[in-house]
Structure 1
Amino acid sequence: MGADVVTFGETMVLLEAGSSGPLRYVETFTKRYGGAESNVAIGLSKLGHQSLWMSKVGKDEFGEFLIQKIRGEGVNTDFVKSYQGAPTGMYLKEMRRPGDQRVVYYRAGSAASFFNENDLDEEQISQAKILHLTGITALLSESCRQAMFKAIEIAKENNVYVSFDPNLRFTLMGELGEDGARQVIRQLAEKADLVMPGLDEAEWLFGTSDEQEVANLLFESGVKQVVIKNGGEYSFYAEAGGESGRIPSFKVKQIVDAIGAGDGFAAGVLSGLLEKKSLGDAVHFAAAVGALVVSSPGDIEGLPTRDEVLNYIEQKEGNAGGVLR
């Protein structure tokens, strides 16, 4: 039996400033790590599912650190390759002043950008229940793009459900330009079974902020399910030929760190679908995961266990007969 969810993409080492102000005045950093796909894999692992993450890291100490940490969270890292030809990517998080976080990337030409279709393990993808991808990987390099289309092809041939989160990164659009990036990300979205953009991403991709209109455009391409996140307000969900609706977000008193919340949300939706929940119930569960993630610093530190999510929902809503809606 394969993993419940297989994913691949770049994870980087994060050096987080230990004090506020411009980086030139910062003396100490906390070492963390983050990457959209590994965040989702860890989120799923914490929720009780088997997840597998493929990637390339540098043959360096940071690469060893990433494998050790992600494996330690229960994710299968057996198909992560150490690459001699380029370093592990990294990024720094600067706290200019309260509420003003800035991120500086050192990822151009990183080991992960050399990931290609030969690095995919066809057997693992074909045995999975879900293949989860993000638009970040598509913008890293031509070889990464080819690997994504190849992975989708393998998944489709083996009736593996394909999940796609556009996860736009304008700083990565370099060689493609905005129009080229939009074209690639739309092509990937149209090949998926589930697409989970933010409302701003959906508008950038399809030229409309009408959620049902976005969903209908995706359904015409063969997409089966659509979830559109609208920040801390609500999430819209729709199924081809089925129900649609809005699930309100949980109100959070203080947002400590919003980075990684979308990955936690994605893990929550996929967890719900693996458990055969309706799409609406999966989104409700995911909203609770996202709320818990923004209440903690770091990308993965706040990813909750199943019990923590259920306790949070009960605390917020009371036990309405055990129905998660």
Structure 2
Amino acid sequence: MPDLITLGETMVLLTPSFQGPLEEASLFLRSLGGAESNVAIGAARLGTSVGWVSRLGKDPFGSYILKRIRGEGVDTSRVQLDPSYPTAVMFKEIKAKGNPHVYFYRKGSAFSRIKPDDLDESYLSQARILHITGIAPALSQSSRETIYAAVEIARKHRVKISLDPNIRLKLWSIEEAREVLLDLASRCDYFLPGEEELNLLFATTDRQEWMKRVQAMNLPCTVAKLGEEGCMVIDGNGCRAIPGFPVDQVVDTVGAGDGFAAGFLHAVIQGLSVDEAARIANAVGARCVTVMGDVEGLPTREELDQFMGRTAQIDR
């Protein structure tokens, strides 16, 4: 059985073959994108045994996603194919500067119809960590109920729970997101927010203020992503800054947070300390931004060692 299980929706990702307005694009490159499957693929490439639980349309896009993720070594045995509802689609608009603009077409998708009865308790109960994000609870009432059911199963069987809030304000209001995500965070062992998400959750841009608010929640472990600065570990031993890894050129930031989570969870499962896991997470996230695509920049263990300077890269 997998050591790490992720639960969430994956979409077909269509990216224009050129930089510029999406409305002018006529040729697209196909890939896939989904925070939870990104984490699954990232951890699998590093050598962790991973399972992904989801629901796809029984259509060509669903077939493509299933084959692609299975081909990465991720267990997809608990993925259901729904003949009545479609696989979701997303488009990425590439800009010369700044983050890409992403458009989602996921309303009424197969995953939005997932329900608690679709979960296999015996499968979830044997994992070491369950990883969820704040995306699935925003998609529909039934998907929210499914996430809460998965969390309760994990708690019942003493499976550790990881949460990346992944706030998507195109899906719900900040007020609703704040209520649900802070509640979910209180049930988790590893909380992996970005600084912008903490600003939204606590309605402040003062770093010292949200650090105090996180400490007041008494969570087992929070690792706050700080971009190029690295991250901040907040736990029972206080607050510690873990430096980031510099990169020469940022190509695509989408998926870097998922890479961070994959690196962190992989390292925790390997038995490393939280601080060392955070350092590895920083490296994976930094490596991701140097490559175009949600999953294309996720490194193998060998590539990660080279990026971190642990081994030399032989080019010829």
TM-score range, shorter chain: over 0.9
Letter of the aligned partner of 2:232 in structure 1?
A: F
Equivalence for 1:320: none
Offset at 1:12? 0.2
| Equivalent-residue separation in structure 2 for 1:6 and 1:266 (angstroms) | 13
Equivalence for 2:107: 108
Equivalence for 1:321: none
| Equivalent-residue separation in structure 2 for 1:96 and 1:3 (angstroms) | 38
Equivalence for 2:129: 130
Equivalence for 2:261: 266
Equivalence for 1:186: 182
Equivalence for 1:156: 155
TM-score, with length taken from structure 1: 0.91
Q: Percent identity?
A: 42
Moved more, 279-288 or 23-32: 23-32
Aligned partner of 1:312 among 302, 307, 310: 307
Contact 1:202 1:214 in 2 (8 A): no
Letter of the aligned partner of 1:259 in structure 2?
A: V
Equivalence for 1:72: 71
| Equivalent-residue separation in structure 2 for 1:97 and 1:270 (angstroms) | 33
Letter of the aligned partner of 2:194 in structure 1?
A: G
Contact 2:305 2:311 in 1 (8 A): no
Equivalence for 1:234: 230
Indicate the RMSD between aligned Cα atoms, in angstroms. Answer: 1.6
Contact 1:6 1:124 in 2 (8 A): no
SS in structure 2 at match of 1:172: coil
| Equivalent-residue separation in structure 2 for 1:17 and 1:202 (angstroms) | 32
Alignment of 1:1-150 (within 5 A): 2-99=1-98, 101-150=100-149
Contact 2:115 2:143 in 1 (8 A): yes
Gaps of 5+ in 1: 318-325
Post-superposition CA distance 1:188-212 (Å, at most 9, x none): 1111011010112112212343253
Letter of the aligned partner of 1:196 in structure 2?
A: L
Letter of the aligned partner of 2:274 in structure 1?
A: L
Post-superposition CA distance 1:216-260 (Å, at most 9, x none): 1231xxx211100111112000222x2531011111110111100
Contact 2:45 2:301 in 1 (8 A): yes
Aligned partner of 1:296 among 280, 291, 294: 291
Gaps of 5+ in 2: none
| Equivalent-residue separation in structure 2 for 1:253 and 1:271 (angstroms) | 26
Post-superposition CA distance 1:152-194 (Å, at most 9, x none): 1111111100010001100010xxx331221011111111011
Offset at 1:115? 1.1
Change over 3 Å in CA distance of 1:47–1:214 after alignment to 2 = farther
| Equivalent-residue separation in structure 1 for 2:188 and 2:40 (angstroms) | 18
Alignment of 1:216-255 (within 5 A): 216-219=215-218, 223-240=219-236, 242-255=237-250
Letter of the aligned partner of 1:17 in structure 2?
A: P
SS in structure 2 at match of 1:216: helix
Letter of the aligned partner of 2:36 in structure 1?
A: E
TM-score, with length taken from structure 2: 0.94
Give the number of aligned pairs: 309
